[in-house]
Amino acid sequence: MVCTLRHLIFRTWATVLVGGGLCLLILPAIHPHIGLEWTLVPVAVILLGVFMAVGWVSNRVGMSAVERLVEEATKWERAGLLRSAEKTYKRAAAVLDSFLFSPLVNRRESAYLAAHLARFYLAKADKTQDSEAFIISYLQSHPEDGEVAEDWLRQVENLGELKRDYYELARRIGDAQAENRDVQHLIARLYLAARRTDFPALQTYRRVLDGGTASASDIVRDLAVLFIREGRADEWALTVYLQALRQGGERSLLLKGIAACVHWLGENERTRRPLREARRVLEGVDEVILEKMSAGFNPPTVEPSALGISRKIEVGSALKKASKHVGLALLRISKSLAFNIGMHAKALISFIKRSKRAQLVLEWSMTAVLVVAVGMLVVNTVGHLITTRKGPPKKKEISEVVVTDPFTIQVAAYLKPEDAQGYTSYLKKRGLDAYWRKKEGTKKTYYQVRVSHFADKASAKSYGASLKAQGIIDDFYVANYDRP
């Protein structure tokens, strides 16, 4: 909301200045031909055109800045300089918070930047609470993003017991990507790990098993064990038991579930085929043993989806009727208001045409409103520029004071400072966070060239090895980091 107000204030201010100047240039030339009563028409056209043009230009400038910063952050990320990449992404976010973007463009560019930032945080090995919260927030707003959803699901699978919010987010992702087999498989594994058999979990299991992929074999075996533990003996449970048996599940355990389904299920068009297969599997087993095997299982019940269909239809029909009546009422009210406003506007225009005094009052009133508006906009804009110029430098100084990474890599050492400066400039052009420092020795003074800073030696060695493999540096060793 604040960004929208800033944008409107900026566009109005620019429209008044530019449009007012154009009106002063154009109106004297066309005034004799159109008369006073039609003067407002070209003024409105000019101001509206300038307003739209200012919005288009500011949107283009802002979009260009965001795309440039995202491209720069991607280069930092590829070079392994994650701190620099994160700072650049935050600069892009700051541009989005400025007055340049209209609401619609801001929403689109925010989604574009959020997608890049979510992928950046997912790729980081050391995630913070802020990065985790950002990823969750992004997926809640964009559960249809398959790449981010799949990567996040793979990572949370290893966390063990998950928060309730994570399961709710997994459900939203599953509903948004019902055709994505990989995502459905990962969600099914999460539900199985939590031993869930509620309606969202059952829907996910169905999607995975109906897909008929090779990866569904582990799901169907684990699901069969879960159903047997819960004592399920319905139609779908029988299908799962038979499928798990065909794919090498534990035979003695699965036969109990199959026997219970044969005992409880009645034969109809849907159950006739699986019941025949079940009886063939149980062929030769004594009736007494089958009776014992069926103990502990529950008779089949109606699934929640079947019970809720009629209610959903009734609620949907009632909402449709109510929305139709409300829409017709609003349409009638709007037509009546438009008619009344048109009648009063015609009467007012006729009065102004007939009265010279009214024309004079109208001219002075418009001039006074224009002067007051320009004054308010100038004061507001100057105040906004002063606050935005004073704020960021303090935050930047605070963020750059503390560096907690204790290691760096040294890639060269020279006896002349100009050699160190030249090599440092070369490395910076290659996109590296390079710097040089003076080191006093016992007999000689060395000028050491170093690159970046790291939280541990392993990260520093890995980064140095990658630069060496690319031919960017000849050799390196890990050193203690000192602020340049």
Q: What is the pLDDT of residues 465-480, one digit of tens each?
A: 888 888 888 888 888 8
Evaluate whether 238 touches 261 at the Cβ level (below 8 Å).
yes
- Please name the residue ranges forming H helices in 282-303: 287-293
Report the alpha-carbon distance of residue 45 to residue 37 in Å, rounded: 15
Report the alpha-carbon distance of residue 23 to residue 31 in Å, rounded: 11
> How large is the average pLDDT for residues 132-155?
86
Helix/strand/coil for 143 = coil
Report the alpha-carbon distance of residue 201 to residue 187 in Å, rounded: 8
Q: What count of other Cβ atoms lies within 10 Å of the Cβ of residue 156?
A: 20
| Average pLDDT value over all residues in the chain | 78
DSSP codes, 330-394:
HHHHHHHHHHHHHHHHHHHHHHHHH-HHHHHHHHHHHHHHHHHHHHHHHHHHHHHHHHHHHHHHH
Evaluate whether 239 touches 257 at the Cβ level (below 8 Å).
no
Q: Which band of pLDDT confidence, cut at 50, 70 and 90, is reported for residue 309?
A: very low
Ranked by mean pLDDT, the top range of 26-30, 69-73, 124-128, 374-378 is: 69-73
pLDDT value for 279: 86
Burial class of residue 473 in the structure, from the number of CB atoms within 10 Å of its CB (0-12 exposed, 13-18 middle, 19+ buried): buried
Evaluate whether 17 touches 45 at the Cβ level (below 8 Å).
no
How is residue 433 written in tokens? 């966070």
Q: Which band of pLDDT confidence, cut at 50, 70 and 90, is reported for residue 236?
A: confident
pLDDT tens digits, one per residue of 238-279: 888 888 888 887 888 888 888 888 888 888 888 888 888 888
In the chain, the percentage of residues whose pLDDT exceeds 70 is 77
Which residue in the block uniquely carries the two structure tokens 């994505």? 180
Report the alpha-carbon distance of residue 51 to residue 14 in Å, rounded: 8
pLDDT value for 356: 66
Query: What kind and span of H or E run contains 452?
Result: strand 445-454
How is residue 292 written in tokens? 């014992």
How is residue 152 written in tokens? 């996040």
pLDDT tens digits, one per residue of 92-138: 888 888 777 788 888 888 888 888 888 888 887 777 788 888 888 88
Q: Which band of pLDDT confidence, cut at 50, 70 and 90, is reported for residue 388?
A: very low
Report the alpha-carbon distance of residue 211 to residue 219 in Å, rounded: 12
Domain boundaries, the chain: 214-301, 407-480
**CATH 3.30.70.1070, domain 407-480, yes or no:** yes
Size (the chain), residues: 484
Q: Which residues of 454-472 are buried (b: 16+ CB within 10 A; e: fewer)?
A: beeeebbbebbeebeeeeb
Check pLDDT > 70 for residue 220: yes
pTM, rounded to two decimals: 0.53
- As beta bridge partners, residue 451 has 409, 434
- As beta bridge partners, residue 445 has 440
pLDDT value for 374: 64
